[in-house]
Amino acid sequence: MGQCVSKEKHSDVPPRTSSQQMPEANALLSNLTSLPNFYNHSPNRNLSSFSQNDPKYEIVVALYTYESRSDGDLSFKRGDLMYLMDSSNVDWWYVQRTADNKTGYVPRNFVALQKTAESEDWFAGKISRNRAERLVLSQSLPLGTFLVREREVMPPEYALTIRDYGENRPCVKHYKIKKTDDDGYYITDKRIFHDLRELVRYYRDNSNGLCQKLTVAAPRIMPARPDLCYQTTQQWEIPRHELQLKDKLGDGNFGEVWHGRWKGSVEVAIKTMKPGTMSDEAFLQEAHIMKQCAHQNLVKLYAVCTKEEPFYIITEYMCGGSLLHYLRDDSNQLSIPALIDMCAQIANGMKYLEERKLVHRDLAARNVLVGDKISGVPVVKVADFGLARKLMEEDIYEARMGAKFPIKWTAPEAAICGNFTVKSDIWSYGILLYEIFTRGQNPYPGMHNREVIEQVEQGYRMPCPKNCPPEVYEHMLKCWHQLPEKRPTFSYLYNYFDDFYRSLVSVKDSFHSDLCVGGGCLSLQFLRSHGVWKYLLHDHLPDSRILVDRSSNESWRMQPTRLDQLYSMALPCTAWGASCDMVLFLQRLTPHYQTFLLMTLK
């Protein structure tokens, strides 16, 4: 990848290599590796006299199995009960196992307080609507498969997601769970429940207005551990001999990335740094930024090795490798909905950085990692915070003299002047969208770096990729606005892509003046103004279409050559009010959805 050297903005001191250890680096390392202990318990206390009925201590239940790799941690199996001794740490709780009175730390996201909604297998926590749909639509699950999730709104609200069946295909329905002033819960005001557990018990036995009776809970996805062990939350430096480098995943200007294991069992990614490529202070600053960040769409930093070169950064392992290689692999069949979902996940991770005034400076498909799939859609996380910087009050980071960065992903104001902001990350996100919808093609094909800078300054923007939804391309162009302040925020982009297929939700509603996709309704005016109708007709329907006239039950097959004619017929209808004389069924199939478009025609 070509690089650009920024022009001098101020008199930065040239970086010193690791051989020139700096006092600032020593101080930072001291801060990173010897954080204070905020816990007020005494691990050596005799807890054997505690009774399970002792009201002083709450009981937690294990949601997953966890195997300890440190003396301070406690192993447990799913369903084990433990007394909660100390909950002052957000990531690790100190507990005593009820079965044998052994004590230790357990990861907070692996346990829950007993007899709460969180302890139930149907409670999914704060996940997006899209992920909830993918979970209940997993293969081989029965009708009525469900989960309760915390909606992504403030103040917190809950929603019930249920697997249903309609129009010869599985579908999903969502029900908002409302709360009364006295902390009761209800879906309809005809019946109010004391808590979520009582609500679920009732609807397991009675559908009472729901699409299905609740049957089985959707599968839970095991979360990533918050750290390698409790000790590494306070002591980031780990002995190098505890790591095994197994398979080389890639290399770059700064070093190599390996798939490895910690203590022989915990899978990790190990980033090795070439000697002399980064100062001690810069390396530790990278580690400090990564350790502060905790989000489902950001790669988690676990530990570092800095006692000798090459330095190591140890992070969570993502089994799918880089998004760039994943996109280029023809064996990975990705539908448009899957690509849209990945766009939303990446924007969600960047939204977290945006809210904390962190600028990434190297957002690209090569720096996004791919994990396991949920209902055919891979989990993706933003990685490589090696260039990340905390913005000052003026919200601008000025690159030091001699700094290098990838031109084709870099906003013009950053490439020319070295001024990086969250808005320059937005530009890079637009380039990343191009990579996603071209399945990993290089941006600005056939152009060298200097030509890219000149052409972009003159207003050139890459054309819409083949098979890319026009709405997505419109948002690429928004990300590439010449004026940084005119570019959208990551918060907006996340909401946009997360809602892109909101219409796939099957909620049986009136067909009056609405176009319904999978049963969910969007106004015809909205669809017409956003060009969605043409996009669905031309890009997402199979080679043959079945049109059904409800009034006569006559059906016929229309060949692809008739698409333009069909569009010409349908377009003016979107401007009218609807009647129920005829309903046009357009069946479109993707690897993960079977979606029916229902459009009422006048």
Strands 59-62 and 81-86: antiparallel
How far is Cα 35 from Cα 280, in angstroms, rounded to an integer? 19
Among this protein's residues, is 362 annotated catalytic?
Answer: yes
Query: In the Cβ-directed half-sphere of 28, how many Cα atoms lie within 13 Å?
Result: 18
Name residues whose C-beta falls within 8 Å of residue 508's C-beta, 6 or more positions apart in sequence.
166, 173, 211, 519
User: How many CB atoms sit inside 10 A of residue 452's CB?
Assistant: 21
The answer to whether residues 138 and 111 touch, using CB atoms and an 8 Å cutoff, is no
Token digits of residue 232: 């590494």
Q: Which amino acid appears at position 450 of this protein?
A: R
Give the long-range contacts of residues 483-489, CB within 8 A, separation 24 or more. Answer: 484/411, 484/413, 484/421, 484/423, 484/424, 484/426, 484/427, 485/423, 487/423, 487/426, 487/427, 488/426, 489/351, 489/354, 489/422, 489/426
307-310: which pairs have CB atoms within 8 A and are 24 or more residues apart?
307/237, 307/240, 308/240, 309/18, 309/273, 309/275, 310/255, 310/272, 310/273, 310/274, 310/275
Give the dihedral of Cα atoms 9, 11, 15, 21; nearest 10 deg: -150
**Residue in the block written with tokens 């005494």:** 42
Q: What are phi and psi of 398, to 5 degrees?
A: -100, 120
Which single residue is written with the structure tokens 């008199």?
Answer: 11
Query: Which helix (H) or strand (E) covers residue 405, if one does?
Result: strand 404-406
CA distance 345 to 341: 6
Query: Which residue is listed with tokens 């809970």?
Result: 217
Do 103 and 74 form a contact (C-beta atoms < 8 A)? yes
Per DSSP, the residues of 507-544 read -----TTEEEETTEEEEHHHHHHHTHHHHHHHHSS-SS
CA distance 58 to 348: 34
Residue that has been written with the tokens 């999903």 in this structure? 172
271 is in an annotated binding site: yes
Residue by residue, DSSP assigns 216-260 as SBPPPPPPPPSSSSSHHHH--B--GGGEEEEEEEEE-SSEEEEEE
Check 80, 341, 362, 384 and give the catalytic one.
Answer: 362
Annotated binding residues for ATP: 271
- Which are the catalytic amino acids? 362
- What residues form the annotated binding site? 271
